[in-house]
Amino acid sequence: MAIKRLIFLILGLICLALGTVGVFLPILPTVPFYLATVFCFSQSSQKLHDWFIGTELYKKHLQSFVEKKGMLLKTKISIITTVTLLMGFGFFMMARKGIWIPCIILAVVWICHIVYFVFGVKTIKEENSEQ
């Protein structure tokens, strides 16, 4: 049992580090890494889980999403813009070399991403997020 907790602790710390780097570098996604951090910390240590939920990073990037309220419009726009730029760059580089099947797959993933964030994730107003 102690090995399992140690593994989740190490995974949680790695996800926390990658998510925090993703706050500053748009190439890494913040929300998935922080979701993984919450899960791993909840499996390893209640103290770490409670600490992470109390941090400003969690409250700013993840709390509204985890509580099923949705995301702020500016958060959704930021995510969509970052993903579009990164996927667009990848698409451009592959298209330049004539690699079309991965381009089609990337385009389908991008469309699914846009549809999910526009229609699947509820948009909340700024004043509701403060409560």
- Residue 26 scores a pLDDT above 50: yes
pLDDT digits (tens, 9 = 90+) for 74-110: 878 888 888 888 889 989 999 999 999 989 998 998 8
Task: Using the Cα atoms of residue 86, residue 90, residue 91 and residue 96 in order, give the sign of their dihedral.
Answer: positive
| Residue tagged 């381009």 (tokens) | 103
pLDDT above 90: percentage of residues in the chain: 27
Closest-CA residue to 65 (of 110, 112, 101, 19) = 19
How close are the terminal C-alpha atoms of the chain, in Å? 39
- Mutual angle of helices 46-54 and 2-24, in 10-degree steps: 20
Single pTM value for the model:
0.58
Residue 128 has pLDDT above 60, yes or no: no
67, two tokens:
């509580």
Query: Tens digits of per-residue pLDDT, 28-84?
Result: 777 788 888 999 999 998 898 899 889 887 887 777 777 767 888 887 888 888 888
Amino acid at site 131: Q
Instruction: Look up tokens 């780097």; give the residue.
Output: 21
Mean pLDDT of the chain: 84
Inform me whether the pLDDT recorded for 25 exceeds 80.
no
Collapse the DSSP code of 126 into the 3-class scheme (helix H, G, I; strand E, B; otherwise coil) and give the result: helix
Joined tokens for residue 126: 């700024």
